Amino acid sequence: MPDSPKEGRCPCCETRTGPWGRPCPGEVCTRKGFSFIPSRWFDVEKEHSERKRRPIDPLLGRSLDRYLLVGKLGKGGMGAVYAALQRPLGHEVALKLISGVEISPVMQERFEREARAISVLDHPNIVKLHDYGVGSLDATIP
What is the pLDDT, as a whole number, of residue 3?
43
Give me the mean pLDDT over the 63-74 stretch: 91
What is the pLDDT, as a whole number, of residue 10?
96
Query: Could you tell me if residue 65 is left (phi over 0), alpha (psi between -120 and 50 degrees) or otherwise beta?
Result: left
Domain boundaries, the chain: 7-98, 102-134
* Helix/strand number for the chain, H first, E second: 3, 7
Q: How far apart are CA 97 and CA 119, in angstroms?
A: 17
When mean pLDDT is compared over 48-62, 101-115, 116-130, the highest value belongs to 48-62
- Does pLDDT of 121 surpass 80? yes
In tens, the pLDDT along 123-138 reads 888 878 888 777 766 5
7-98 folds as Phosphorylase Kinase; domain 1 (3.30.200)
pTM to 2 decimal places: 0.81
**Comparing C-alpha atoms, which of 57, 63, 64, 52 is closest to residue 14?**
57
Asked which of 27-41, 64-78, 94-108 is least confident by mean pLDDT, the reply is 94-108
Q: What is the overall mean pLDDT for the chain? A: 85
Q: Can you state the percent helix, strand and coil of the chain, rounding each to 5?
A: 25, 25, 50
Percent of the chain with pLDDT over 70: 90
CA distances from 105 to 97, 108, 110, 112, 131 (A): 18, 5, 9, 11, 20
Give me the mean pLDDT over the 55-79 stretch: 89
